[in-house]
Structure 1
Amino acid sequence: MAEAVVLEQVSKVYGKGRGAVAALREVSVGLPKGGFTAVMGPSGSGKSTFLHCAAGLDTPTAGSVRLGGTELATLSETRLTELRRRRVGFVFQAFNLVPSLTVAQNVTLPLRMARAKADPAWLGEVLERVGLGGRAGHRPGQLSGGQQQRVAIARALVTRPEVVFGDEPTGALDTMTAKDVLALLREAVDALGQTVVMVTHDPVAASYADTVLYLADGRIVDAMSAPTAGAVAERMTRLGAYVR
């Protein structure tokens, strides 16, 4: 299977000398194109650092990150910003919507920032897929939390990115709304052929993925295919053995 993102011997160290903290330690992994990968681990295991390095939001101290064959380390900050706008989508726990803009304007904001025109047909399809076809003119304050997260997902999809990255995208949602959002991410993979990489602490959320990567002490220590919530929860209880 083709790989959307490849990390080779990626390390990330914050600080220097005795105060240095290694968030990632020589991580090597390929994230499959058209797949749904969940990343799990205890607090401080390096999950968010992994996601940020993979998405080009942070620069590794050592190692290589390639997005669709593009080596991120060779790009200037300007080119890296352009790449993130055009080829990467982000869904965070905080919805990060602009209160004064409508749903449609929030969704198309990345396109406007990239000085690209929105395709009205595609915008309409994305809004329909996330269940907001009749809400294009509403503002965030008129929406529920779950609807706001759906706007954030639509915004991540509208540029047709190579990869959608999610950092605890259901962490601020109630159980039923979280299930709807996870089903939507699953549909993006199954129906649109999208690639999704999601950091989560929730075994139920991880069960929507094709593969779960487990991090501990800055390293990938295990992987699970076709995960179930029970199997993920059981595996998480044994990750403490890897923590120094």
Structure 2
Amino acid sequence: MEAILELDRVSRFYGRGRGTVHALRDLDARLYAHSLTAVMGPSGSGKSTFLQCAAGLDRPSSGTVRLGGQEISAMGERQLTRLRRARIGFVFQSFNLLPTLTAQENVLLPLRLDGKPRDPARARRMLARVGLDGRADARPGELSGGQQQRVAIARALITEPDVVFADEPTGALDADTAAGVLGLLRESVTAYGATVVVVTHDAAVAARADRVLRLAEGRLVYDTVGAAA
């Protein structure tokens, strides 16, 4: 199986001396194409730092991160910005939609920022795929939390990225709505061939994942695949 994202001996620490905080400690991980991986662990375990380093939002203090065989941990900020726009999608707990834009305009925003042609028909098709047919002109304030998260997922998929990172995507939703969003992330893998990495506290996410990574005190302590996940 092809490893789309590789972390080799990645450490991340903050501060100096006795006040140093070791968020990640010599972490090795391989994340595979066309799969859903859940990254779990208690608060302070390093989950968010893992996401930030893996997605090029933060630089490891040591070690390397490679996306599609290309080392991103040594890139300059401009290179990283271009890479994130073109090859990485993000879904956040707080949705991060622009309130003055319609659903369609929010979905097209990554293409606009990357200087690529904006295709409204493509955005509407993507919204229809996530169950929002006919809501392209609605603004975030006119949508429920679950619908806003669906817009965020459509926005993350519009560039056909190598990896979609989802940070607690069900955390702000009720159980039924969260189940629908989780099903959509699962479908994005099976139907569209996406690679999804979900940072979560939710055991229901782990139950639907192809693989579960569990962190504790910045270390990878559990890694399992298949039905055992």
TM bucket normalised to smaller: over 0.9
Aligned-pair CA distance for 1:125: 2.6
Residue identity matched to 1:30? R
Q: Which residue in 2 is equivalent to 1:26?
A: 26
Residue identity matched to 1:13? F
Report how many aligned residue pairs link the two structures: 229
Q: Which residue in 2 is equivalent to 1:101?
A: 101
Q: In 1, distance between residues paired with 2:119 and 2:4?
A: 24
Q: Which residue in 2 is equivalent to 1:112?
A: 112
Q: Which residue in 1 is equivalent to 2:134?
A: 134
Q: In 1, distance between residues paired with 2:60 and 2:41?
A: 20
* Unmatched tracts of structure 2, length 5 or more: none
Q: In 2, distance between residues paired with 1:101 and 1:166?
A: 22
Aligned-pair CA distance for 1:206: 1.5
Aligned-pair CA distance for 1:133: 1.6
TM normalised by structure 1 equals: 0.91
Asked if 2 retains the 8 angstrom alpha-carbon contact of 1:6 and 1:67, the reply is: yes
Q: Which residue in 2 is equivalent to 1:205?
A: 205
The within-5 A match list for 1:145-164 is 145-164=145-164
Q: In 2, distance between residues paired with 1:128 and 1:226?
A: 30
Residues 80-111 of structure 1 deviation map (CA, whole Å, 9 limit, x = unaligned): 00000010000010111111100000111111
Asked if 2 retains the 8 angstrom alpha-carbon contact of 1:89 and 1:161, the reply is: yes
Q: What secondary structure is seen at the aligned counterpart in 2 of 1:108?
A: helix
Q: In 2, distance between residues paired with 1:212 and 1:122?
A: 33
The within-5 A match list for 1:80-95 is 80-95=80-95
The within-5 A match list for 1:1-244 is 1-226=1-226
Asked if 2 retains the 8 angstrom alpha-carbon contact of 1:40 and 1:199, the reply is: yes
Q: What secondary structure is seen at the aligned counterpart in 1 of 2:191?
A: helix
Q: Tell me the percent identity.
A: 60
Q: CA RMSD in A?
A: 1.2
Of 25-34 and 118-127, deviating more is 118-127
